[in-house]
Amino acid sequence: MRFGPTEEQQMVKDQVARFADEEIKPNAAEWDKTHEHPEAVCRKLGEMGIMGVAVSPDYGGAGMDNVTYAMCMIEISRGCGSCGVIVSVNNSLYGYPVNTYGTHEQKLRLLTPVASGKVEGCYALTESGAGSDAGALRCRAELKGDKYIVNGVKKFITSGNVADYCVLAANEDPEKGYKGILTLVVDLKNTPGFSLGTIEEKMGILASGTAEMVFEDAEVPAENLLGKPGEGFRQMLSGLDAGRIGIGCQACGIGRAALEDAIDYAKERVQFGKPITSFQAIQWKLADMATELDAAELLLLKAAWMEDNGLDYEKESAQAKMYASDVAMKAAIEGVQIFGGYGYCKDYPAERHMRDAKICQIYEGTNEIQRVVIARKLLGAR
């Protein structure tokens, strides 16, 4: 059993870690303040192959594995949680379904620009009445001739305000329930009937836009259908399994940032004549944070390894996402506590880590839903 990365994996991880330290982390607070999409960073990450890590070079990707992707995600998110989720959506929620279910022609046309990092992709699933109950979609897609006519409103779509392409989940026949769901890839810049609605004002992850996407008799070519009608729900579930690894890594990276900043601050903060690192109360907080984050990383790497080896990783991805986001939130809260009053002020990064960590317990399936998934797998339920 190997617990260490390969030489290539370590090299890529180190390269991304340096990039995060030099070009992402120094700008994270400003992006948070201005809500600015980190355009230049996304383009540079694309040049490094990180916007399509596990996609074949034939379709613009780097042709690496998902373990490498997980390592990169942790490092990027350690620098900035917003950058982390943008990279995650590109690779997992958009990249995975197109790469897995798309034809050669579809991948050349619809995956290459996103995997190469020239533009962003997004995944439009959630609706006002379809969140945890992902099968309750009201967005309709009716086939008329050689086009699908799409009507519906999607909510809380990460990168929806900046994306050029979208994987869209819609229902062709609501009477069939989840069996009527299909998946379309939408060229957002060239789709009559598509418009942006509300851009959400959020608690955290402020450099990543979260948009309402409106489809009013939007025309999508039938050739952009992934797979066959009725296969969308199965595609959705497998895509979410892959996406949970990315969000778990985002959480782990945010938690590591909280730990690193808490250690640096605690070494400098003097009370009662000595650094607060000399006090056992602080030492134990740091020890718990480090141990739990290390455990989370191992769960995430295991799930990524299982995906790379073609194994059923549904339970493992749910476990990794759930645990990583819970311990990241705990680490962020403890980070604020270690900073004391300064932790509550925007001059220091601790409060941003706490705001950024919270969403990881909610999106890509709430942690309550993760526990349902895990229990079902344990009990053999279908």
Instruction: Give the pair of three-digit tokens for residue 175.
Output: 């009477």
Which residue out of 75, 314, 316, 364 is catalytically annotated?
364
21 and 138 co-located in one domain? no
Residue-wise pLDDT for 132-144, tens only, equals 787 788 999 999 9
Q: Which of 87, 104, 119 is the last residue of a domain?
A: 119
Q: What is the pLDDT of residue 129?
A: 86
| CATH code (residue 292) | 1.20.140.10
pTM of the model: 0.96
What's the number of domains the chain is made of?
Answer: 3
1 located within any domain:
no
Residues 126, 115 within the same domain:
no
pLDDT score of 70: 98
Residues 193 and 238 reside in one and the same domain: no
Mean pLDDT of the chain: 96
- Domain range for 206 is 122-230
Mean pLDDT for the stretch of residues 140-164: 97
Same domain, residue pair 109 and 23: yes
Asked whether residue 274 is assigned to any structural domain, the reply reads yes
Tell me, yes or no, whether 180 and 246 share the same domain.
no
Residue 73 lies in a domain: yes
Contacts of 296 (CB under 8 A, 6+ apart): 248, 251, 252, 255, 320, 323, 324, 327, 328
Nearest to 90 by CA among 123, 127, 59: 123
In the chain, what is the straight-line distance between the N-terminal and C-terminal CA atoms, in Å? 32
Q: Do 358 and 203 form a contact (C-beta atoms < 8 A)? A: yes
pLDDT at residue number 175: 83
- pLDDT recorded at residue 285: 98
Q: How far apart are CA 12 and CA 338, in angstroms?
A: 33
Q: How far is Cα 256 from Cα 81, in angstroms, rounded to an integer?
A: 11
> Is the model's pLDDT at 382 over the cut of 80?
no
pLDDT of res. 131: 75
- Grouping H, G, I as helix, E, B as strand and the rest as coil, residue 126 is coil
pLDDT, tens digit, 9 for 90 and up, residues 303-341:
999 999 999 999 999 999 999 999 999 999 999 999 999
Least confident residue range of 60-64, 94-98, 159-163, 238-242: 238-242
Given a contact cutoff of 8 angstroms between Cβ atoms, the answer to whether 358 and 329 are in contact is: yes
pLDDT at 1 over 90: no
2 located within any domain: no
Instruction: State the Cα–Cα distance between residues 61 and 54, nearest whole angstrom.
Output: 7
CA-to-CA distance for 229 and 140, rounded, in angstroms?
13
Asked whether residue 53 is domain-assigned, the answer is: yes
pLDDT in tens, 165-222: 999 999 998 888 889 999 999 999 999 999 999 999 999 999 999 999 999 999 999 9
Give the mean pLDDT of 81-86: 98
Residue 292 appears among annotated catalytic residues = no
Instruction: Supply the pLDDT for residue 220.
Output: 98
Same domain for 111 and 127, yes or no, is no
CATH number of residue 84's parent domain = 1.10.540.10
Q: What is the mean pLDDT of residues 355-367?
A: 96
Distance CA 227, CA 187 (A): 17
Domain boundary among 87, 119, 151: 119
Of the listed ranges 7-11, 233-237, 330-334, the least confidently predicted one is 233-237
pLDDT value at residue 3? 86
Query: In this predicted structure, what is the pLDDT of residue 132?
Result: 77
33 shares its domain with 115: yes
pLDDT score of 275 more than 80: yes
In whole angstroms, what separates CA 237 from the centre of its chain? 15
Residue 92, in any domain of the structure: yes
In sequence order, which residues have a C-beta less than 8 Å from that of residue 380 and are 6 or more positions away?
Answer: none
- Indicate whether 27 and 97 sit together in one domain: yes
pLDDT, residue 176, reads: 86
| Domain CATH number, residue 211 | 2.40.110.10
Within this chain, do residues 41 and 109 fall inside the same structural domain, yes or no? yes
**116 three-state secondary structure:** coil
Q: Is residue 30 part of a domain?
A: yes
The last residue of a domain, from among 195, 230, 265: 230
Mark residue 156 as left, alpha or beta (left: phi above 0; alpha: psi -120 to 50; beta: remaining). Answer: left
Task: Output helix, strand, coil percentages for the chain, rounded to the nearest 5.
Answer: 60, 15, 25
**Does the pLDDT of residue 274 top 80, yes or no?**
yes
Would you say 87 and 37 are in contact if contact means Cβ atoms under 8 Å apart? no
Stretch 270-294: mean pLDDT, rounded? Answer: 98
pLDDT of residue 49 exceeding 80? yes
Same domain, 244 and 374: yes
pLDDT above 70 covers what percent of the chain? 99
Question: Quick one: 350 and 243 in the same domain?
Answer: yes
Same domain (yes/no): 371, 269: yes
Digit-coded pLDDT (tens) for 363-380: 999 999 999 999 999 999
Which has more confidence, 276 or 173?
A: 276
Report the pLDDT value the prediction gives residue 301, as an integer from 0 to 100.
Answer: 98
